[in-house]
Amino acid sequence: MSFIASLDVGTTSLRCFIFNENCQIKGSASELVELLNPRAGYFEIEPEKLWLSIVNVISNAIKDANLNSSDITCLGISTQRCTFLTWDSNTHEYFHNFITWKDCRADGLVNKWNSGLMLKTLNTLSYGLYILTRSKRFLAGSVLKMMNGQVTLRLIHEIEANPKLKEAIENKTAVVDTLDSWIIYKLRTGLAKDLTIQHITDITSATATGLFDPFTLGWSDLMKMMFGINLSLLPKVVTNSDDFGCVHESLFGTRIPITSSVSDQTASLWGSNCFDEGDMKITMGTGSFLDLITGKHCQASIHGLYPLVAWQFKNTKLNDELVFCVEGAAQDTGTLICWAQSCGLFNDPSETSDIAHSVENTGGVYFIPAFSGIGPPVNDYKAASGFLGITPSTTRAHLVRAILESIAFRIAQICEATKSETNYNMQCLKVDGGVSKNDFICQFLADLVGISVERAVNSESSVLGSAYIAGLNIGIWKNRDEIRKFRIVDKLFKPREEFKSENRERMNIWERSVERFKEWY
């Protein structure tokens, strides 16, 4: 019997599951990730504390499965994207904590670049090239804006704010690691101090940083020209079938092959069995991420959707396969639920669906979910959050329902933007992640978008996806057909025609409410 350890490093939780070759869970372990918030807009993770948690979670999962580390056939890794660290290659000194994808410390720099002459010139030149070529790639460039969710400007901000880092960059001793790259390095070196191992990152993690060009499949020369970032400081980009090495024996007493490393959203695509062009899923975790497979076509966008490499394999049973996707994100989903709970609106998130159903509507209350601004198709990172329409008759249930409806409204916005840009006929929306367990949100979303929402029994698709790819790469499974049989649907939420008109009108009012909260800062 083969056993796969699948490690998922999320923003709020760290989990490891042990699967057998029939994809049955034999053991698991988890720990909360301590997200530091030293000042407003800063979201960090302390590296060594995270590392100790990673080792503990893997070890505890193996114990929970009643196995030894030598029984583990391989390890798959799924990580959050756009979370990065810089450190000194000589001293191994960290220049700062992990700066996560939710961090907004570069707001001032983002605004400066977006209003600067260089970006305006780039937009103008891109539009001219679009007129000549009619290429959507240049049309997307004509409306290009820098965003805080990507690594680019947060890295520049940190270099400007940290003299030691600036010196290390100039001396070429600094290492810029994405989270997956750092984890692979730490696993491969273990407790050894004298190993020299090349830093690598998989292409699905690199493609989301803003430093990588999915059209040319390499670190962007444009980013080097605009920001002066030395691309040699970045990890080598590899495919999802590359040789990721082995876990050093000093950690668990034996060498464990690392046979996959993928971004959390790619892992979620695989965990949801989204393999074919036109397949789509939405992960509802800390944020909501819609990913639509566009096949061999890299989709440029003018609405703020992001073209990504969904996955890439070379010289494997899947042959040479390069697949693209387009992604739209709502940065605040699980964070809204956690915030509402901390405010005392409910004791447990599992209560929220029943609370929302306890009232017929929100009583005219609308909530704007913009703790991190509002992404596509609104694309306003200065927007504020808040309730609108509160009256003396407003109850706790109205507020809770307004928050849950706002999550569905944002996802529906992204669905509509994706459909208009790609012209794919959406047949089914597969959902996963912790928030997808909420029946009210799933049904309300189905009524809004007019297509069925499918939720699997196992909603932890990122863990499943990294296990699938790890097992395929090492030969536990021969092809994707052997994987498809593992997906079991928990519930299918079908759109209800009688609610379509009412919910559409509510969304129209909500979108007008959003206008009042735009350009707040």
Q: What does the pLDDT look like over 482-513, one tens digit per residue?
A: 999 999 999 999 999 999 889 999 999 999 99
Q: What pLDDT sits at residue 139?
A: 67
Is 260 within a domain?
A: no
Q: State pLDDT tens for residues 34-59.
A: 999 998 889 999 999 999 999 999 99
Number of domains in the chain: 1
Q: Is the pLDDT of residue 363 over 70?
A: yes
Higher pLDDT pick, 242 / 134: 242
Is 245 within a domain?
A: no
* DSSP secondary structure letters along 386-413: EEE---TT--HHHHHHHHHHHHHHHHHH
Report how far residue 323's alpha carbon sits from residue 325's, in angstroms, rounded to the nearest whole number. 7
Give the ranges where 44-115 is alpha helix by DSSP (H).
47-64, 107-114
Report residue 174 as tokens: 């600094």
Report how far residue 236's alpha carbon sits from residue 219's, in angstroms, rounded to the nearest whole number. 9
Q: Strands, DSSP E only, in 243-320?
A: 246-247, 256-263, 280-284, 288-295, 306-313
Q: What pLDDT sits at residue 70?
A: 96
Place 142 in a pLDDT band, splitting at 50, 70 and 90. low
Q: What's the CA dihedral at 415, 420, 424, 425 to 10 degrees?
A: 70
CA atoms 477, 480, 481, 483: torsion sign? positive
Edge-to-edge strands of the sheet including 280-284? 306-313, 321-330, 288-295, 280-284, 428-432, 452-456, 489-493
Report residue 216 as tokens: 């040319």
Q: Is the pLDDT of residue 318 over 70?
A: no
Is 133 within a domain?
A: yes
Say which amino acid occupies 130. Answer: Y
Q: What is the pTM of this model?
A: 0.91
- H-helix or E-strand containing 152? helix 151-161
Say which amino acid occupies 224. Answer: K
Average pLDDT for the chain: 91
Q: Strands, DSSP E only, in 95-183?
A: 98-99, 174-178
Is 305 within a domain?
A: no
Q: Tell me the three state secondary structure of residue 194.
A: coil
User: Contact at 8 Å (CB) between 211 and 224?
Assistant: no
Is 126 within a domain?
A: yes
Domain that holds residue 130: 110-142
User: Contact at 8 Å (CB) between 449 and 499?
Assistant: no
Q: What pLDDT sits at residue 267?
A: 96
Is 26 within a domain?
A: no
375 CB burial (10 A radius; 0-12, 13-18, 19+): buried
Is 118 within a domain?
A: yes
Higher pLDDT pick, 244 / 223: 244
* Nearest in space to 465 (alpha carbons), one of 289, 286, 261, 312: 261
Is 165 within a domain?
A: no
Residue located via tokens 């070890």: 59
